[in-house]
Structure 1
Amino acid sequence: MKVFFPSSFSFSPSIHDVSCVYARSPVVKFSPTITVVGDGVLSPRVASFSSRGPSPSFPGILKPDIAAPGVAILAAQGGSYVFKSGTSTAVPHVSAVTALLKSVHPDWTPAMIKSAIVTTASVTDRFGMPIQADAVPRKLADPFDFGGGHMNPDRAVDPGLVYDLDAKEYNKFFNCTIGLVDGCGSYQLNLNLPSIAVSDLKNQVTVWRTVTNVGLMDATYQAVVEAPAGVVVSVEPSVISFTADGSRSTTFRMTFTAKQRVQGGYTFGSLTWFDQSAHSVRIPIAVRTVIQDFIADTS
């Protein structure tokens, strides 16, 4: 879970509010707490203390999944209220949205709800600028900062397409993690998650995904790819159609081909399915090109 600055937050007096002069009798000035609301606040923004990907244990699973408000959140504590920051204040936001989606779509599986939240998230702030991540220095946020992006509950109610996953597949994945099943690398890549992470692209890798139509019965979607730098990406089929008397699910494949032989770092992109109406179903992509395993990058 990631954490974000909300649309308003408070600043408490700190060392930055102290004015000093060099004299025998120094003067200290404390400014009162103020609240900034509206256009004067840069949000959402990934907090500096928020954990980042990639996952060292399972690099074929992109983490985190989603971002939610988690800085200066007014929370109940004892018999009063306090401002709290951390992943513990971000989780309730996602839990509440999950419960609301389940109330609207009682037949949806947990994987469908997760997919709806991830694929409809925003990667821009309210000004239309890319979301930033607090770091040293501050940088543009990427999928290892916020996963699919900053969640948007209104859009998640009607995602158009979802990436569903049977609970049994998670059991198989667990067996991979404890060494009971071979080929876990390939299994991680093809787990039907609303994200793709390729951690060892040497030449070419093919990844499979299945989408389920939960929108209009008759719909056609066009694939739009933002390819990670240094990688050629193809989608087959690039157009998928659904009819009232046809299947509600379809499978597609994405092929990633390295354009250069470089022991590189991760680069990022996305795959978005657009239909003729308002649906935009986006999943994040992270790819790392390699020449050989276990070779450190050098400058």
Structure 2
Amino acid sequence: MDVLFTFVPKENQQERLQAEFPEVTFRFLYKNKSFLPTADIVVTYGEDLTADDIDRADNLKWIMVASAGIEKMPHAAIADKGIIVSNVKGIHKTPMAESALAHLLALKRSLPFIYECQRNGEWNRKTHSSELAGSTAVLFGPGAIGSEIGRLLQAFGVRTIGCNRSGDKAEYMDEMVSFENSLTALPKADIVIAVLPSTEETHHLLKKEHFQAMKNDAIFMNLGRGDLVEDQVMLEALETGEIGQAVLDVFEEEPLPADHPYWQMDNVIISPHVSSHSGKYVERALDVFIPNLHDWIKGDTSPSNPVDMKRGY
């Protein structure tokens, strides 16, 4: 059996795989797809496979995506060949939840202001700090990541309202609403956090009326995908004061162009799509992949976290 990694794990991680699966041929090649025609399994971040690649992958039966997002993959080509796709849904929850809390605490406790005063050698106690406790947060996408954010927010005394397609109950949410009824929840929110994937349903889901419904001092945070909000809608909401602050980890165009207005705006924090980054990322991905590979070798071709290429998640 041939397994092709289109990224290169650390040496100790490669050794772990080779020791656990001596009968498997592993190839660890950064974006080098020369062995695709013989690969039975491909492990990828999901951004480097094209329809042509899939066409020449004669033996390929399973693509393991070491990411949650699959929007850049050649969906039709993969579906046409009946290739199984799975991802590592859930492994991002710890770093992304910590990122969300870090940004919120920094803003509430005036850390950017304090750091700037230090750089300027200025003793200024007019921080205008506030607290998370007693506030309300609306979370678009209360799945594995959103629920972990909710758990941490609740520990800080924040009321959490989850928003998903159905409005069905989710962990660590005090209340739930559907996408359709989200406008009823947004006026209550001091904080709005989005961790939604990129799908047809979520494309430009948040529109001008959603930002108009938010408090004018609300903090909006997007850690999911940039196409949740049309860029011009986001820009106008910030320029007109419909919301108070935005923390943006994702954008419609990435990298964010150097001349984009966000760079010069005091009420925007630009995070270059790094909220999920962690030194433990690949280790956690392998913790998902290894049990699935054991099962695959035994004949179980139903890996955990299967992805429906038609739905996009």
Q: TM-score range by the shorter chain?
A: under 0.3
User: Which structure has the highest strand share of the two?
Assistant: 1
User: Which structure has the highest helix share of the two?
Assistant: 2
Bigger relative CO (Cα 8 Å, ≥ 6 apart): 1
TM-score (norm 2): 0.26
